[in-house]
């Protein structure tokens, strides 16, 4: 029962509302603060015809689109390699294979390949083809080893 608990939890709750539930002003609350909030609410909205704020400029050091694409493919392939149990964890510990999620990550790369077909440079398409081939072959090897151990 709540009344029986008299322990302190270490923090204090302070009610800073300006009015009571009956609608009367709480003693000790400054009126200026309330007025400043009301004036902010009454401030006129910006006209609709105002010029939009300028778009943020990307940093000068940002990678080119082909470099970003290669980073994405690298990220997803590294993730799949972790999931296949081929790379050690951050502390060097062994990470067991997770074939379900490795397969999903490889499928993501396949979807990326399908959706970008015809929009990639020759170099980007070759990178994606090679990464997918290697991951598929590695997946089959790991799957074969896992089924042979069971």
The structure's pTM equals: 0.56
Number of other CB atoms surrounding residue 129 within 10 Å: 12
The whole-number pLDDT of residue 136 equals: 97
E strand or H helix at 40, and its extent?
helix 31-42
Number of other CB atoms surrounding residue 123 within 10 Å: 11
The whole-number pLDDT of residue 47 equals: 47
**Angstrom distance (rounded) from CA 82 to CA 93:** 12
Q: In degrees rounded to 5, what are phi and psi of residue 15?
A: -85, 115
Is pLDDT at 100 greater than 90 in this prediction? yes
Domain ranges of the chain: 65-149
**Angstrom distance (rounded) from CA 98 to CA 70:** 24
**Angstrom distance (rounded) from CA 114 to CA 120:** 11
Do 83 and 102 meet the contact criterion of CB atoms below 8 Å apart? yes
- Strand-pairing partners, residue 25, are 19
Q: Which tokens belong to 65?
A: 């689109």
CA angle 24, 28, 32 (to 5 degrees): 85
Let me know how long the chain is.
150
**Angstrom distance (rounded) from CA 119 to CA 125:** 9
102: confidence class by pLDDT, cuts 50, 70, 90: very high
Is pLDDT at 124 greater than 60 in this prediction? yes
Closest listed residue to residue 112, CA positions, set 84, 82, 71, 81: 71
Per residue in 53-67, pLDDT (tens digit) is 666 655 556 768 889
Question: Residue 69 contacts by C-beta under 8 Å, 6 or more apart in sequence?
Answer: 120, 124
């Amino acid at each position: 029962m709540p009344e029986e608990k008299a322990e302190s939890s270490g923090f204090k709750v302070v009610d800073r509302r300006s009015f009571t539930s009956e609608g009367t002003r709480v003693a000790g609350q400054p009126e200026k603060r309330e007025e400043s909030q009301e004036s902010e609410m009454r401030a006129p909205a910006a006209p609709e015809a105002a010029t939009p704020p300028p778009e943020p400029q990307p940093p000068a050091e940002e990678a080119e689109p082909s470099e970003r694409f290669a980073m994405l493919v690298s990220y997803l392939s590294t993730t799949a390699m972790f999931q296949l149990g081929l790379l050690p964890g951050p502390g060097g510990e062994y990470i067991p294979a997770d074939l379900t999620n490795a397969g999903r990550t490889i499928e993501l790369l396949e979807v990326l390949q399908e959706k970008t077909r015809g929009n990639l440079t020759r170099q980007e398409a070759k990178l994606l083809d090679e990464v997918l081939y290697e991951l598929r072959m590695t997946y089959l090897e790991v799957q074969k080893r896992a089924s042979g151990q069971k």
